[in-house]
């Protein structure tokens, strides 16, 4: 008797593509087209290209110079598929250009940008205020923070500024630190009718030059409050205060002493 051999036929079923897969892919393509079209419109539409630039607040910097540099910073350039593309879209304008503008004009302390849609930019300039004439290898104006403004020019408007002669480089103090110390000394002496015109700054010494013949020595690294207190005691003594022009110097640098010569 013959045995019947049963054979099994392997049947593979094709999986039908999910309708959701097709939907998400189509949605992604459609959304990408919308986003790219919107970005392209915002970046390259003539309606949003900056055509009006308004600059205010500048007193010592020529508006024409500011406009020339700012207009260069308004332009954004990049390469796409081997093509060089540039735009002055208000949405990209002055992105990192503020720092570049301030580097071009050290006189600027702060720049505030206001976008006047659809195609206008307003720049509000705040200029640094000169506080002193700093003299090392050259002479230049600095503000209270010791920040460079511009090279010094002998003009009437700067005649009241104090001169700081950096005779020696002080490694452990910044210009700001030094000016804070000098400002404290200047204020105290002014309260006692002594008007400072210059400071000579050394590694460990400050020498004042004022409307008096008598010079005053401070230690720039020691406790200035204590040195000033010693000076007030000296100035409170009529023996010295009434004859300051007859003395060569008052040295406040050593401990509890005030050496008068």
Write out pLDDT tens, residues 19-70.
556 767 777 777 777 776 666 555 666 665 766 889 999 999 999 999 888 8
Same domain, yes or no: 175 and 236: yes
Range of the domain at 232: 132-260
Place of tokens 């060089």: 84
Same domain, yes or no: 192 and 235: yes
Query: Is residue 27 domain-resident?
Result: no
Same domain, yes or no: 102 and 157: no
Has residue 88 got a pLDDT over 70? no
Query: Is residue 39 domain-resident?
Result: no
Strands in the chain per DSSP E = 52-56, 76-80, 83-87, 108-116, 120-127, 132-135, 139-142, 148-151, 162-166, 196-201, 206-210, 215-218, 249-251, 259-260
Same domain, yes or no: 178 and 89: no
How many domains does the chain divide into? 2
Has residue 13 got a pLDDT over 70? no
Query: Is residue 41 domain-resident?
Result: no
Give me Rg for the CA atoms of the chain.
Answer: 36
Gap between the Cα atoms of 79 and 146, Å rounded? 41
Last residue of a domain, one of 80, 101, 127: 127
- CA trace torsion 72, 73, 78, 83 (10° rounding): -20
Which residues touch 257 (CB under 8 Å, ≥6 apart)?
230, 251
pLDDT tier at 102 (50, 70, 90 boundaries)? confident
Same domain, yes or no: 141 and 251: yes
Has residue 6 got a pLDDT over 70? no
pLDDT greater at residue 31 or residue 184: 184
Q: Hey, which residues does 80 pair with through a beta bridge?
A: 83
Phi, psi of 64 (to 5 degrees): -60, -40
Same domain, yes or no: 82 and 188: no
Residue 182 is inside which H or E element, if any? helix 175-191
Query: Is residue 42 domain-resident?
Result: no
139-172 tens-digit pLDDT: 999 999 999 999 999 989 999 999 999 999 888 8
Same domain, yes or no: 85 and 153: no
């Amino acid at each position: 008797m013959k045995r019947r051999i049963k054979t099994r036929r392997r049947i593979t079923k094709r999986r039908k593509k999910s309708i959701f897969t097709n939907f998400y892919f189509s949605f992604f393509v459609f959304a990408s087209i919308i986003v790219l079209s919107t970005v392209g419109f915002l970046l390259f539409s003539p309606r949003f290209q900056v055509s009006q630039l308004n600059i205010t607040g500048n007193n010592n910097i020529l508006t024409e110079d500011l406009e020339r540099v700012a207009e260069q910073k308004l332009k954004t350039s990049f390469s796409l598929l081997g093509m060089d593309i540039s735009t002055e879209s208000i949405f990209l304008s002055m992105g990192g250009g503020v720092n570049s503008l301030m580097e071009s004009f050290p006189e600027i302390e702060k720049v505030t940008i206001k976008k006047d849609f659809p195609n206008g930019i307003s720049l509000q300039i705040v200029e640094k205020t000169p506080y002193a004439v700093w003299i090392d290898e050259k002479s230049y104006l600095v503000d209270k923070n010791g920040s460079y403004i511009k090279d010094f020019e002998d003009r009437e408007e700067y005649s009241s500024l104090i001169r700081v002669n950096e005779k020696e480089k002080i490694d452990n103090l910044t210009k700001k630190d030094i000016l804070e110390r000098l400002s404290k000394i200047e204020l105290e002496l002014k309260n006692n009718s002594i008007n400072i015109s210059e400071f000579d700054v050394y590694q460990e010494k400050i020498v004042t030059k004022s409307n008096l013949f008598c010079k005053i020595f401070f230690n720039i690294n020691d406790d200035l409050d204590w040195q000033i207190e010693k000076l007030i005691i000296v100035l409170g003594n009529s023996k010295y205060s009434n004859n300051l022009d007859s003395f060569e110097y008052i040295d406040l640098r050593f401990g509890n002493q005030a050496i008068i010569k």
